[in-house]
């Protein structure tokens, strides 16, 4: 596994390697309700037909998610 790179909030990225390769990703910090991080994934930004999401309670859990998914992301 690669070390976790910088995680950008409220910015789209494309997963270049790891689980969900080819999908687009968006990480949002939910300061108002859960104080956690939502990770949204879609196959196409303009016209999504497939996708999923994850939730992490804090930055440490978010980094673990990125590490275990072995994601390499190109932030757009």
Which residues in the chain land under pLDDT 70? 1-5
Cα distance between residue 37 and residue 49, in whole Å: 23
Q: What is the pLDDT of residue 21?
A: 97
Query: Which tens digit of pLDDT belongs to each residue from 27-38?
Result: 999 999 999 999
**Distances 44 to 25, 26, 67 between C-alpha atoms, Å:** 10, 12, 23
- Give, in degrees to the nearest 5, the angle at Cα 52 between 48 and 56: 135
Q: How far is CA 68 from CA 45, 55, 57, 72, in A?
A: 24, 14, 16, 11
- Return the pLDDT at 25: 98
Structural domain spans, the chain: 12-75
Tell if the pTM clears 0.75, that is, is over it: yes
């Amino acid at each position: 596994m690669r070390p976790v790179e910088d995680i950008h909030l409220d910015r789209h990225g494309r997963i270049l390697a790891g689980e969900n390769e080819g999908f687009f990703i968006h990480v949002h910090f939910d300061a108002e309700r859960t104080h956690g991080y939502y990770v949204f994934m879609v196959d196409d930004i303009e016209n999504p037909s497939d996708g999923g999401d994850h939730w992490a309670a804090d930055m440490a859990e978010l980094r673990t998610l990125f590490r275990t998914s072995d994601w390499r992301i190109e932030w757009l």
